[in-house]
Amino acid sequence: MHGTTIQLIRGAPPSALLETIAELEVQSMQGEAALWGRAGLEATLAAPHAGAAILSVEDQAAAYCLFTMLAGECEILQIATAPGLQRRGIGRSLLQAVLAHAAKHGCERTLLEVRRGNLAARRLYESLGFSVDGVRRGYYRHGGDPPSTDHDALLMSCWLAAQIPPTRSAANTEDSEVSDGQTAQIARITYPVDCGTADRIR
């Protein structure tokens, strides 16, 4: 997609980026999870092990991903694409960039939770090699919801390859990236992410 950039932010993001993420959250979550809201996002992203990635198309924010990186594990806290831009490969590109970033910074494994009934998200994760490790029954069920396995949380994970080379010359750009609240733009990256069998448990 032309004019696509991904910003990776580690540490507390500037206020304008917080607003951008909060707006995208409201647009895109549509009942899939409780909203974090600006204050929740600010508190979460203030942690030194937390990060955010924002994919923009022609300077318009289109998708975001929240994650943590700690003790060799990357946890995906949230990912969402603006409703009008879904099913164009944006979510996959963004997640691939986050996984590549995590692998580059020493993570070997990625974890997340997803509602069993959220088929779009499950397919996205499965397409990148995530598999189900466990279930939290009824985890997403609210008081008025009828009983349904759709509300179960599936615990998913994938193992990241130790070395993930970018497919184009974005490596130098990423080398200058992100720490302690600084941001860097990374132009049109396509990372081959091997979450599959090659580098599983060593």
Cβ nearer to ligand COA, comparing 64 with 159: 64
* Residue span binding ligand COA (CB under 6 A) among the ranges 3-11, 119-127, 142-150, 153-161: 119-127
Q: Closest Cα to residue 65, out of 81, 83, 44, 89?
A: 81
Catalytic residue from among 19, 73, 113, 126: 113
Please, are residues 159 and 195 in contact by the beta-carbon 8 Å criterion? Answer: yes
173 to 60, 112, 178: CA distances (angstroms): 21, 28, 10
Residues 29-48 that bind ligand COA (CB under 6 A): 29, 32
Cβ nearer to ligand COA, comparing 137 with 182: 137
**Known catalytic residue at 113:** yes
Residue 153 in the binding site for ligand COA (CB under 6 A): no
Q: How many residues does the chain have?
A: 202
Residue 88 in the binding site for ligand COA (CB under 6 A): yes
**Known catalytic residue at 125:** yes
CB of 74 to ligand COA, least distance (A): 14
99 to 38, 57, 117, 140, 184: CA distances (angstroms): 25, 20, 24, 25, 17
Task: Determine the 3-state secondary structure of 101 from DSSP.
Answer: helix
Structure letter (DSSP) for residue 150: G
* Residue span binding ligand COA (CB under 6 A) among the ranges 40-48, 122-130, 157-165, 193-201: 122-130
Name the strand (E) or helix (H) holding 171.
helix 171-175
Residue 79 in the binding site for ligand COA (CB under 6 A): yes
Give the footprint of ligand COA on this chain (CB under 6 A). 28-29, 32, 63, 79-81, 86-92, 114, 118-121, 123-124, 127
Residues belonging to the active site: 113, 125
